[in-house]
Amino acid sequence: MYQLLIVDDQPDLVEDLATNIAWNSIGISNVYQAYSASEALDVMNMTQIDILITDIRMPGTSGLDLIESIRKSWNHVKCILLSGYNDFEYAQRALHVQASDYLLKPVEDSELLSAVKKAITELEQHWREISSHQNALESIKANLPILRSHLLKELLQKPLPQEQLQKQLTMVELTIEWDTPCYMMLLRMEDYFYEQSDADSSLLEYAICNMAEELFSDCAKLWVVKDNYGYYVFLILPAKSAANGMLQPDAIEQKAAQLQHYVKLYLKGTISLVLGQQLSFPNYVTDCYEQLLGSIRQRIGSERDFLLTLRKSQPMSQLESDSLTQLYTPPQLNHLLEVGQWEAIESKLLMIYEELEEKRGDSYEHILEAYYAIVSALSYAIHKNKLSMTECLGSDFNQMLAGPSFHTIVQLRTWVSDALKAYRQAITSRTQVSRTGIVQKVQEYAAQHLADASLQSIADHVFLNASYLSKVYKLETGEGISEYVSRLRLETAAHMLRTTSEKIYEISSKVGYSKTSYFIKVFKERYGVTPQEFRDQ
């Protein structure tokens, strides 16, 4: 269902259009009303509007100017213009701001319904085209290299279930049979490349990957991705032209050496390569990557321009890195804690615990490694959020000072769960206090600036985005800011009618109503009597 906003400086006309036309018959669920361009923008900030009907001539900002403002932030909204003047210049500007329709007053109900129905049809067609299956396929095709890189990066981090992996391979148009023998190669660009500008460095990286593709093309196809540490990871798969569908290790090593040579010769820089032992796709892709990563990290110092081939020394299933990979793989725990992504934090911790149990379950040293890394991330997040560890963790802080007294993964999980629960409670409590302060500032400002208070002016006063402020206020009070301001205006007017002898038009102006007739109308809707009858009583 769609949402409609009607804007006109004549409240009676707006009320008539909003209530006396069968909008639900064409799929309109809610009709909102505004009596000026500024009120319309307030509604737009608070509500998802699909179709706008606005008068052209209004005091202050015209309907045409209003549409131009809307186009800057809500380009998808369909706009229909109403005008009492058959003016070519207006029609020309209506075309310029891409109005869906231009209708002359007085407009028939059927004509207006027809114009809104046409706008709904245009919206449906627009979003249908965007979300169409064909467009999705074309978008996937255009982004195949990126999607393939993302899939390989995911495989480097963790094995994927066979059915899920097969679907993703099909989607990115990669045909790789299960248990295909392949090799993995890790490439590190060195000093010269990092001295270049970002643009030049990107071009050089592209050139190196092209060189690798060319050198291996007669016997292998390459699947490549740049990992989170800036290394290039090549999965070397047999090409159809490879003898018996097999890759020869000596040939792979020879081509790796050629790549080093040509990079140095033509690109004037050095690279180091680590070539892993043969594996069967997709088994042990993650383990092989960890092994290559560990090998290249051991040579980060002064050693440059090396080619290291890891010979078969132990079953691939037994290969393990020296540290817990998930602790240091992005997204890192300290960043997730800092911004409070609680579901992602739970998922990250689960992966850390699973790695501990599967690979290091009997290692107290690795339990300690996980504990200190988690404590470090937690303390970083607490201080980053301007809190103290004592107030956040309570008794868990004393445990942290004394050092861990546990020796099992279950004990680690229990302590981390309690500490995170305490930290989350502290963050939630502070947020609640902050929101209460925001509500108080809103109400104080509205009371002091009743004549001209609006959502935007209040948002500017408290230095918050109008849409965010509106949501926070509604969450805390159950009432929208515009509803609160309207209620406050009428309650203040009622008080002034009881306690002062000011004229009704003066009271109307003081509480923020520019038209006395409209003030009388809304006052009667709330109190059941006109302002004069209220005063007489």
Residue 108 DSSP code: P
Determine the distance from the C-alpha atom of residue 257 to the mean position of all C-alpha atoms in its chain, rounded to a whole number.
Answer: 43
What amino acid occupies position 117? K
- Pairing, β 232-238 against β 279-281: unpaired
- For residue 157, which of 331, 336, 314 has the smallest C-alpha distance? 331
Q: How many helices (H) and strands (E) does the chain have?
A: 25, 11
- For residue 480, which of 461, 449, 455 has the smallest C-alpha distance? 455
The pLDDT, as a whole number, for residue 524 is 92
Residue 323 DSSP code: S
Angle at 370 between CA 364 and CA 376, to 5 degrees: 135
Residues 90 and 119: beta-carbon distance below 8 Å: no
- For residue 309, which of 252, 260, 369, 245 has the smallest C-alpha distance? 252
- For residue 361, which of 417, 314, 407 has the smallest C-alpha distance? 407
pLDDT over 70 (residue 89): no
Tens digit of each residue's pLDDT (9 = 90 or more) over 144-164 = 888 888 999 999 988 899 899
Under 8 Å CB-to-CB from 104, ≥6 apart: which residues? 82, 83, 84, 85, 86
Tens digit of each residue's pLDDT (9 = 90 or more) over 169-206 = 988 888 888 989 999 999 988 878 878 887 888 888 98
Determine the distance from the C-alpha atom of residue 207 to the mean position of all C-alpha atoms in its chain, rounded to a whole number.
Answer: 33
Determine the distance from the C-alpha atom of residue 295 to the mean position of all C-alpha atoms in its chain, rounded to a whole number.
Answer: 36
Average pLDDT over residues 285-304: 78
CA terminus-to-terminus distance, the chain = 45
Coil, strand or helix at 30: strand
Question: What is the rounded CA–CA span in Å between residue 212 and residue 219?
Answer: 12
| Lowest pLDDT segment from 10-24, 132-146, 291-305 | 132-146
The greatest distance separating any two alpha carbons of the chain, rounded to the nearest whole angstrom, comes to 104
The pLDDT, as a whole number, for residue 380 is 87
Question: Torsions phi, psi of 360, nearest 5?
Answer: -130, 30
Tens digit of each residue's pLDDT (9 = 90 or more) over 310-337 = 865 444 444 444 567 788 777 888 888 8
| Lowest pLDDT segment from 209-223, 274-288, 374-388, 483-497 | 374-388
The pLDDT, as a whole number, for residue 435 is 80
Residues 520 and 526: beta-carbon distance below 8 Å: no
| Lowest pLDDT segment from 194-198, 290-294, 399-403, 506-510 | 399-403
* Higher pLDDT pick, 13 / 132: 13
b/e sequence 84-108, b meaning 16+ C-beta within 10 Å? eeeeeebeebbeebebbbbbeeeee
- For residue 367, which of 381, 353, 386 has the smallest C-alpha distance? 353
Question: What is the rounded CA–CA span in Å between residue 133 and residue 358?
Answer: 41
Provide the mean pLDDT of the chain.
Answer: 84
Q: Which helix (H) or strand (E) holds 237?
A: strand 232-238
Average pLDDT over residues 300-306: 69
Question: What is the rounded CA–CA span in Å between residue 23 and residue 537?
Answer: 39
Instruction: Sort residue 50 into left (φ over 0), alpha (ψ -120 to 50) or beta.
Output: alpha
Question: What is the rounded CA–CA span in Å between residue 338 and residue 7?
Answer: 43
pLDDT over 80 (residue 82): yes
- For residue 245, which of 221, 276, 214, 215 has the smallest C-alpha distance? 221
Confidence of residue 410 (pLDDT cuts 50, 70, 90): confident
pLDDT over 70 (residue 91): no
The pLDDT, as a whole number, for residue 8 is 92
Residues 240 and 189: beta-carbon distance below 8 Å: no
Q: In percent, how much of the chain has pLDDT > 90?
A: 29
Domains, in order of start, for the chain: 2-131 (3.40.50.2300), 143-317 (3.30.70.270), 325-431 (no CATH), 449-536 (1.10.10.60)
The pLDDT, as a whole number, for residue 319 is 44
- Overall size of the chain counted in residues: 537
Q: Rank 114-118, 136-140, 388-392 by mean pLDDT and report only the highest.
A: 114-118
Sign of CA dihedral 130, 135, 138, 143: positive
Angle at 355 between CA 310 and CA 346, to 5 degrees: 140
Sign of CA dihedral 373, 374, 379, 385: positive
The pLDDT, as a whole number, for residue 133 is 58
- For residue 78, which of 86, 70, 89 has the smallest C-alpha distance? 70
Residue 109 CB coordination number (10 Å): 12
- Which residue intervals of 47-196 are DSSP H helices? 63-73, 88-96, 109-130, 133-142, 144-157, 162-171, 191-194
- Which residue intervals of 321-454 are DSSP H helices? 325-328, 333-339, 342-359, 364-384, 389-393, 395-402, 409-448
Tens digit of each residue's pLDDT (9 = 90 or more) over 209-245 = 999 999 998 889 999 999 888 899 999 999 876 656 6
Confidence of residue 63 (pLDDT cuts 50, 70, 90): confident
